[in-house]
Amino acid sequence: MAQSVTNEALWVKLLEIDKKLDKHSAEQKTPVPTQEPAENKPDFATVKGDIITKIKDEIAILGRSSDSHFEANTQNIEVIIGNVQKIWNIVSRIRKQQGEAVESREKEKESRFNFYFFKVRKTSFAIAMLALLAFILTLFCMKQQNDYALLMEEHYRQNVKVREMKVEMDDLEKRK
């Protein structure tokens, strides 16, 4: 995996390179002082011929090597373009992840109740309320069932007493 580099580090590196380039350009602009003795004045015709032959030799060497340099430069440019595209893709993915993280934090803030000492998710709160309601309804149903059972027991006792009373009444009537 490629190592991540911050923008600040890249800018610092670019500033260093810029300073080095400024330094080198300043060195090239300042002429090198030559100390030639005033007494030795060379013959300009011979010096001119030597200079022309040296320039022609250098041009021939440059002509031969410029083709290879051009190919190397184009390959380097292609590699640099590929690297820039990879970096751009990575940066766009990072920006996308940051945007998603911000959106998820905002959604999470919206989905919570902020009480004084703690935070509760709205869905958890709703589930707790429904569970409490189900518990209350269960208790109510159990109480209703108990009341019904007590009522039925009382009705059964009354029914038994009524039968006993009828039996006693029938016995009394038979005796008369």
> Which tokens hold the place of 28?
């090239």
- Token pair of 103 as six digits: 């959106």
Query: How far is CA 172 from each of CA 27, 49, 134, 164, 169, rounded to the nearest angstrom?
Result: 143, 165, 56, 12, 5
Task: Give bridge partners of residue 114 from the DSSP assignment.
Answer: 119
Does 27 fall in a domain?
A: no
Q: Are residues 50 and 103 in the same domain?
A: yes
Q: Is residue 90 part of a domain?
A: yes
Indicate the average pLDDT of the chain.
Answer: 80
Strand, helix or coil at 58? helix
* CA-to-CA separations, 36 to 31, 39, 41, 42, 43, in angstroms, rounded: 14, 8, 9, 11, 14
pLDDT in tens, 92-117: 999 999 888 888 887 777 766 666 66
Distance from C-alpha of 34 to C-alpha of 30, rounded to nearest angstrom: 12
Q: Are residues 50 and 98 in the same domain?
A: yes
Q: What is the pTM of this model?
A: 0.32
Residues 104 and 87 in one domain: yes
Per-residue pLDDT, 65: 61
- Sign of the CA dihedral running 38, 42, 48, 54: negative
The answer to whether position 21 is within a domain reads no
How confident is the model at residue 2, as a pLDDT?
A: 47
Q: Give yes or no: residues 80 and 131 share one domain.
A: no
Residue 104 or 135, more confident: 135
92 is a domain residue: yes
Q: Does a structural domain hold residue 31?
A: no
Domain-embedded: residue 11: no
> Tens of pLDDT along 69-98?
677 778 888 888 888 899 999 999 999 998
Phi, psi for 2 (deg, rounded to 5): -75, 145
Q: d(Cα 126, Cα 135) in Å, to the nearest integer?
A: 14
- Tell me: do 48 and 105 sit in the same domain: yes
Residue 4, pLDDT above cutoff 80: no
Q: Which domain holds residue 90?
A: 43-110
| Interatomic CA distance for residues 12 and 17, integer angstroms | 9
pLDDT of residue 1: 39
State whether 176 and 140 are in the same domain: yes
For residues 12 and 18, give the distance between their C-alpha atoms in angstroms, rounded to a whole number: 10
